[in-house]
Amino acid sequence: MASVDKYSILLPTYNEIDNLPIIIWLIIKNMNASGFSYEIIIIDDGSPDGTLEAAQQLQKIYGEDKIVLKPREKKLGLGSAYIHGIKHATGNFIIIMDADLSHHPKFIKEFIETQKSHNYDIVTGTRYKGTGGVHGWDFKRKLISRGANLLTQILLRPGVSDLTGSFRLYKKDILEDLIKSCVSKGYVFQMEMIVRARQKNYTIGEVPITFVDRVYGESKLGGSEIVQFATALLYLFATT
């Protein structure tokens, strides 16, 4: 597969000592099989559980050209983690994904092929379309998720089915531009990114993904997440 494109996979981590070796193994396996050129940039925000030491071991196994370590002293937010990673990225495309095994690297190949087919600026994974879906959610969680999604679709008409997903491929310069225009923190940051992308007329492709909710560790959806979401929705409703 002759291609000059290179894909920098950004993995922000915080206390992912159990997941990190597995996700790296899966990325390496799937990316080597795909034939695309890539690197993995691990941005660990001072995890007390030894995630960085595990990352160093992995770097020894797979090499410094494949695994790049760019740790930071403490937790500084997702947007700044991406900025930090991009600064050191040598690829012209950036892939962002969660390190907690909820996103499977086998989909990266589809992301890349979808991007190439239409020269999209962004390709986003969607849990809400086609063969996409979620494992490990109960009725209440599904109801909240589907309800929030429909409300967002009605109010913002974003043209994208999954706004809060964080498994995406971006052209590098476009990701940089979007991060600069976003003010949200936490998981609603992903929603603002994709809504602003639409506002700026960037082209967006979608790939259905399966989302397997955290195998190790716990995932949460509490009152504060819902308040954050509602606030972000109203903010975007009034400003975009």
Beta-sheet strand order (sheet of 6-13): 67-69, 37-44, 6-13, 93-96, 168-171, 122-126, 204-208
Binding residues for another protein, total number by CB under 8 A: 42
Residue 143 interacting with another protein (CB under 8 A): yes
Q: Report, in this order, helix, strand and coil percent for the chain, each rounded to 5.
A: 45, 20, 35
**Is position 131 an interface residue for another protein (rule: CB under 8 A)?**
yes
147 binds another protein (CB under 8 A): yes
Member of 10, 31, 43, 54 binding another protein (CB under 8 A): 54
The residue (of 37 and 153) whose beta carbon lies closer to another protein is 153
- DSSP designation for 184: -
Give yes or no for residue 136 binding another protein (CB under 8 A). yes
x/- binding map, residues 82-121, to another protein, per CB under 8 A?
A: -------------------x--x-----------------
Tokens describing residue 4: 């000059």
Give the burial string for 90-118 (b: 16+ CB within 10 Å, else e).
ebebbbbbbbbbbbbbbbbbbbbebbeee
Query: What are the angstrom distances between the C-alpha of 22 and each of 73, 101, 184?
Result: 24, 8, 30
Nearer to another protein, 21 or 77 (CB): 21
Stretch of residues binding another protein (CB under 8 A), selected from 19-27, 75-83, 112-120, 220-228: 19-27
Tokens 């992308």 identify what position?
197
Q: Which residues bind another protein (CB under 8 A)?
A: 17, 21-22, 25-26, 49-50, 53-54, 57-58, 60-61, 101, 104, 128, 131-137, 139, 142-143, 146-147, 150, 154-157, 210-212, 215, 236-240
